[in-house]
Amino acid sequence: MFYAKCTMMECMATTVKMADANNDSETLRLVEQAATGDEQAWAELIAQHRDRLKRMVAVRMDHRLQGRIDPSDVIQEACLAASKQIASYAANPSMPFYLWLRWIAGQRLIDQHRRHMGAQARGVNREVSLYHGAFPEATSEDLAAQFMGRISTPSQEAIRIEQKIALQSAFNTLEPIDREILALRHFEQLSNGEAAAVLGIDKSAASKRYGRALRRLKQLLFPIIGSDFDNSSDLP
């Protein structure tokens, strides 16, 4: 697999032709204008992707930092850094604009983990499995917390805690790449092509792996969530 042989940025640049999210003409126009210093064009670009960035940060931020770090601050730092690099990107847009912006936001999130947690940052557990320290990974605990937040039927707190622990165990049984593609497709809501580019695999492989991971997860979750899961729209 590409992700085992190259850096994440190299993987995305290599597989970008396989993505179905190449910059459209409007995005290219805004990028070109932003590169010349057009602040309105830059603001439009960021507005188009702010919600997607929020989803990415939400699923990948260490739960111990919730309440200590505002995801909006991470995004603001990322946008500031990206604004200083937009001219270089415009000169050589080797990947879709959003994936480039997402990458920068991921670096700022890693910085926040290290800044606020130091040696306690989950660098080994969060960052090495797929991305070799280059991007914050969505852990089983993160995914379980995100999933519990989407279950609409109210239940007693003790039951929800038990469900969360069981969900975390279920996510732990999945391979790291399967957890990651679920995070990308379901929680971040990336397209199949975008997920393939991020992981450095082709679209067909990404689609098949997502389907298998989804079926496996549904099998694992039904005994935990029961009818709530069966009747919910938490997973497609």
How is residue 37 written in tokens? 């210093």
Is the pLDDT score of 19 beyond 70?
no
Residue 114 carries which DSSP code?
A: H
pLDDT digits (tens, 9 = 90+) for 42-90: 999 999 999 999 999 988 988 778 778 888 999 999 999 999 999 999 9
Give dist(CA 125, CA 97) in Å, integer.
28
Residue tagged 């190299």 (tokens): 10
pLDDT for residue 80: 97
Residue type at 189? Q
**CA dihedral sign, ordered 5, 201, 216, 60:** positive
> Mean pLDDT, to the nearest integer, of 181-190?
92
Helices (H) and strands (E) counted in the chain, each on its own, are: 12, 0
> Mean pLDDT, to the nearest integer, of 99-103?
95
Decide: pTM greater than 0.85.
no
pLDDT for residue 2: 34
pLDDT digits (tens, 9 = 90+) for 126-151: 443 566 557 888 888 888 888 776 65
Cβ neighbours for 148, distance < 8 A, ≥ 6 positions apart: 160, 163, 164, 167
pLDDT for residue 170: 86
Give dist(CA 151, CA 233) in Å, integer.
9
How is residue 164 written in tokens? 């969360």
Give dist(CA 74, CA 66) in Å, integer.
12
Residue tagged 């606020």 (tokens): 116
Give dist(CA 23, CA 140) in Å, integer.
32
pLDDT for residue 197: 92
